Structures are given as C-alpha cells and as structure tokens.
Structure 1
Amino acid sequence: MEAIACETFADALAMVSEERAKYAMIPIENSLGGRVADIHHLLPESGLYIIGEHFQPVQHQLLGVPGTKLTDIKKAHSHEQALSQCRNFIRELGIEAVIHADTAGSAKMVAEIGDPTQASIASSLAGKIYGLDVIRERVEDRLGNTTRFVIMSRTRKDPTPRDGDCMTSLVFQVRSQPAALYKALGGFATNGVNVTKLESYITDASFEAAQFYIDVEGHPEEAPLARALEELQFFSAKLKMLGVYPKHPYRTEYSA
C-alpha cells in the first residue's frame, strides 16, 4: 500500500474518516516513553475502529552534519517521544533537548542549517536520506525499546474466536461514587480476564468525570470476557467498543 505522511495524528485519523486513506497506523505507547500524548482523546472521538496492533522495535541514532564531533553538540532535536526515550543519554551529555514535530523532520532541519552544534535523534535511514553522520549509535536509554501501534479503520473487522487469540479495546466512564471503578473492574478479576492496559483521563472542566481506556485479552463472544463486559456495563456510565483484533505474536514471544 502507498504510505501517506501526515503532520499530526489527528490529520492521519481524519484522512481515514474522510475516505482519503484506508487505514491509519497510530503509535499508542512506548516501552520507555510511556503513553503517546493525546492519543486516548483522539481515538474515541475519531469514529474509527482498531483492527490490528503492531509492535515496532525502535533504535535511535545521534545524527550530525559530516565532521561533527560528540563534544561539538549543544542541542539535540527530535520528536517529544524520541527525546523521552533518550533522556538519560541527553542528560549525560549535558545538552539541550529541542522538540520537533517528528524525528525525520529534525534530521532534515539539522542537515539544512549545517551547524555542528545541532544534532538530531532519529533513525539511521533518516541520516542516510539527509546526508548526516551517525555520531553515536543506539542512544535509546535501554535495549529492547519498542513502540506499540494500532491500526485504525472506518469499519470494524472483528475476527472470530476461532481465528486465534484476540485483544479487545474499549473506553468507559464510571459513575461518580465510591468504589465505582473497583466494582466496574471486578468482573475481569472474577472471570479470569487479563487486563493489559488501563489508563484514565479527565473529560470535563469539573474534574468529576473520568474516562478509562482499557485493553484486555480475549474476544467478547468468549464467555469469560462476555460476563466481564456485562458487569462493566452495569457499573459504568458510558461504554464504547474501540475494536476487537488479533493478538500480535510479540505479546507471546516477549512473555516467553
């Protein structure tokens, strides 16, 4: 398929909503940098569905104009997530981190200004494209750095339980009362459903309503998850299914 670059995640989702693209591939979390900002607001409001997930190993290089020495560098430019994945390295060098819209764009900027005091944290491919030298390889703070992406579509493409292991993603709100979240999640525990991700964020100015994003293992047609979702629906004020999709092999490989 042809890849279409977008300036923002919102633009990528809009491309799919407006039928200018078939799918959007959106980063949702990173093993070092944590959650990707704004994604959990964007996904429920997009009107799209998660139909797949992908785990991408990420390796960062420190790039500079040809002839740059490590001691020359005063600033490192990159995307906010990439900078957070290399925070220890940046701190050790004592250089300033400068946020850009994306990693490759920061490499292009460093190549254009030609200043050896300015560096980019990006991929080796970006360095090759823009003619930059690799000043230091693998500057991420820990080996195994991985980003999880979700694949978004206008239409749901739920697999059947017979197709193999599945993941289910949804958002819900709970009533503003004591132990509401505890009761809402109780069904997952009593039915043996594994919750792999749970995050909350405020949805209004009163700070009274919290919305939760949750990923769980299983298919809604399977009895354990069906019972857990029934209990969740009873205790939650709102519940919206974001998608049912095949469980990526990375989850099994990593746990093994």
Structure 2
Amino acid sequence: MSQKIAFQGELGAYGHEACIAARPDHEPLPCPTFVDAIEAVRKGDADLGMIAVENSTYGRVADVHSLLPESRLHIVDEAFVRVHVNLLAPKGAKLSDVQAAYGHPVILPQCAQFLRANGIEAIASTDNAKAAREVAEKNNPSHGALASELAADIYDLDVVARHIEDHDRNTTRFLVMSREPDFKIRGSHGMITSFVFRVRNIPAALFKAMGGFATNGVNMTKLESYMVGGYFTATQFYAEVEGHPDDHNLQLALEELDYFTDHLALLGVYPAAARRKERD
C-alpha cells in the first residue's frame, strides 16, 4: 500500500502541487479543510500532512498557527513552492470573455492588479481547485478560476492568462507534519526548531525570555503572537530558530526561555529548505 500525504483542497490545489514536488512517492489525499488534513494524519488515514502556513505576498495563513499546537503532530520538514497564478476558463474562451474570476481569499490579493487592469470581478471561493472544477462544470466563458496549471489539466480548462501574480517571487511555505518526530535527521542547509510558548506575568518577561537566544548566538527567524482562548491577555507566541535542540547553544537558550514562561512546547525539528538561502 502506498503512503499518503494529506493536503487542504481538491485535486489541482497548490497544496497538491506541493505534495507532488516535496513527496512524489506519496499519494496525495485531498481534504476539505486544514483541520481535516491534520485529522487524517492523526487517525492514520494519511502518513503525512502538507500544511500551508504563509505566503510571501499575502502573509501568514489565518488560523493555522493556532491549529498546530493542538494537532499533536510534529513538523518534520518544510517546502517552499513558487505559486504561479493562472486565469483558467472553459475551452475556447478568451481573456476578453471573462468577467468574473473565482479564487480562495488568500489568492485574490496576489493578482489584484491584473484583475483590476482587465475589469474582472474577484469572487471568493473556498478553494482554488474547487473553483476550477465548478468553472468547468458550468462551462460559462464569462466565468474564470484563479488556479494552477495542474488544475487546468485535471479539469480540462484553457489557460487564458498565465502567471498573473502581482509579484514575481510569489511563494507559499508549507510544513510537513507527521505523527512521530524525527530528531535524528540533519539537513545539509542546517536545522530549524519550531516551538510555542507563553511568557510568565512579570515585567519585561518577553524581553528577558528572548535574551537567552541573543547571548547564546541563536538566530531567531520568526516570532509571531496570537491570542488563545478568546482573551486579549492570553497571548501565545510561535517561534522558529536556527539549530537543533541537541546543539549546546540552543539548549542553553531554551533553558533560559523555560524559566520565563509558564508554557513551552516543541512543535518540530526539521531540515531547513534550500529556498531559505535564495535571494533571486
């Protein structure tokens, strides 16, 4: 039996592309929501999950960071996927025919300039690949979908405008999730450690908690805050640092962080992707 990797969306979604690129030996398993994709891994219906966390144009994917700590899964890898947005339409349609384009709320801002320039109305859909499928089913040349070329192939649509994203480096970062961690693996481009924490209710707690990373020479690449439990005072932080928990300097930094927190949980230790170092 082949291994499976779950992703949010229908076949042809950008998550599907990420699965093909990062885990070509796994069978992609489409799921309606991120919660469903995570649950598929937890229940054993899939071996891995491909979860989108942020886009270079749009920013972080809403709600995902709050889902990760509760998932009881472990981050074992990351994948950066260059997102090319295409305008798809029924066979024979031309760009001038399209009056409305359907796409996920995350993708609409990524090609806003193109849509305005061509007088195309942007309409939100729950999934880009779903939008492509529905455009194919309705077969109305005035309706288009913002999706991948993979979706065009799957649903037999024409690409009436190719690579219409506003920024030529438009990239989405995905995290690969597993039921079991793998602390033995070491990446050729370094390691990343991800964790969440809540600081103790003392003056300058966050400043003091972060001090250990600076004094021990640990590079923190991400620090984001979000509310938990619906309380403005209950703030949780999601952080990523370069290094492995077995590294002595990171051990010291995490020990100091633990002293100033009332909650600290490791989410994953995984190889840094080569794309982190790219600048072109």
Hey, what's the Cα distance between the residues in 1 that align with 2:105 and 2:218?
34
Hey, what's the Cα distance between the residues in 1 that align with 2:267 and 2:207?
22
Q: Which residue in the other structure is 1:76 paired with? A: 101
Range moving further from structure 2, 88-97 or 116-125: 88-97
1:37-48 pair list within 5 angstroms: 37-48=62-73
Hey, what's the Cα distance between the residues in 2 that align with 1:130 and 1:160?
39
CA apart distance, 1:162: 8.8
Q: Please say if 1:205 is aligned against 2:214.
A: no
- Which of 270, 274, 277 is residue 245 of structure 1 equivalent to? 270
Which runs of 5 or more residues in structure 1 are unaligned? none
Change (3 A) 1:76 1:192: same
Change (3 A) 1:251 1:205: closer
Please, what TM-score do these two structures have when normalized by structure 1?
Answer: 0.93
Q: Please say if 1:116 is aligned against 2:141.
A: yes
Change (3 A) 1:126 1:163: closer
Q: How many residues align?
A: 255
1:7-18 pair list within 5 angstroms: 7-18=32-43
Q: Which residue in the other structure is 2:178 paired with? A: 153
Q: Is the 8 A contact 1:107 1:120 kept in 2?
A: yes
SS in structure 1 at match of 2:107: helix
Cα deviation code 1:174-219 (max 9, x no counterpart): 1234322111111111222111111110112331110011111001
Q: Is the 8 A contact 1:173 1:237 kept in 2?
A: yes
Change (3 A) 1:190 1:118: same
Q: Which residue in the other structure is 1:234 paired with? A: 259
Q: Please say if 1:191 is aligned against 2:202.
A: no
Q: Please say if 1:178 is aligned against 2:203.
A: yes
Cα deviation code 1:47-85 (max 9, x no counterpart): 000011111111111111233333332221112222232
- Which of 95, 98, 103 is residue 120 of structure 2 equivalent to? 95
Please tell me the root mean square deviation across aligned C-alpha atoms, in Å.
1.8
One-letter amino acid matched to 1:35: R
CA apart distance, 1:87: 2.4
Range moving further from structure 2, 110-119 or 88-97: 88-97
- Which of 60, 70, 73 is residue 35 of structure 1 equivalent to? 60
Hey, what's the Cα distance between the residues in 1 that align with 2:187 and 2:90?
53
Hey, what's the Cα distance between the residues in 1 that align with 2:259 and 2:169?
40
Cα deviation code 1:137-190 (max 9, x no counterpart): 111111121111111111111136697621000001112343221111111112
Q: Is the 8 A contact 1:176 1:208 kept in 2?
A: no
Hey, what's the Cα distance between the residues in 1 that align with 2:190 and 2:84?
29
Q: Is the 8 A contact 1:159 1:244 kept in 2?
A: no
Change (3 A) 1:181 1:77: same
Range moving further from structure 2, 40-49 or 112-121: 112-121
CA apart distance, 1:45: 0.3
Please, what TM-score do these two structures have when normalized by structure 2?
Answer: 0.85
Range moving further from structure 2, 27-36 or 159-168: 159-168
- Which of 201, 224, 245 is residue 249 of structure 2 equivalent to? 224
One-letter amino acid matched to 1:196: T
Q: Is the 8 A contact 1:176 1:209 kept in 2?
A: no
Range moving further from structure 2, 74-83 or 37-46: 74-83
Which runs of 5 or more residues in structure 2 are unaligned? 1-25
CA apart distance, 1:255: 4.7
Range moving further from structure 2, 30-39 or 171-180: 171-180
